[in-house]
Amino acid sequence: MANSTEAIEKLAASIGENVYIDVAKWHLYLRDAHLHTVLAEQLYPLLTRDRLEEAQVLNVLKGIQVKLGGGKLEVTLADLLPMQSQVHLMDVLEDYQRNL
């Protein structure tokens, strides 16, 4: 268990430093939005498979609801990530998977 917890924390750190949401052309990195750990926890099981597929990652992103305006509105994480940030996420995941 300690190894998987450590692995998830390492993945979360990498996601938090490289992936951002875009709000009015303002880049908010996932570590600053406190979304990196929940995302890493959900993506980590996908990395233990032979082939990582973008569709699976997108499904995870669509399943994470982000509350805005004090909870008045909920938007999926997939809707908040610009394409460039999704590319960064896939790069992080592919690099991480190679090093497993």
> How high is the pLDDT of residue 2?
55
pLDDT of residue 9: 96
Q: Long-range contact list for 81-85, CB < 8 A, 24+ apart?
A: 81/19, 81/20, 81/21, 81/22, 82/22, 85/19, 85/20, 85/21, 85/22
Residue 100 clears pLDDT 90, i.e. is over it: no
- The residues, ordered by sequence, that sit 6+ positions from 48 with a Cβ below 8 Å of its Cβ are 100
pTM of structure: 0.92
**Number of structural domains the chain divides into:** 1
pLDDT, tens digit (0-9, with 9 covering 90-100), for 32-62: 999 999 999 999 999 988 789 999 999 999 9
**Range of 16's domain?**
2-98
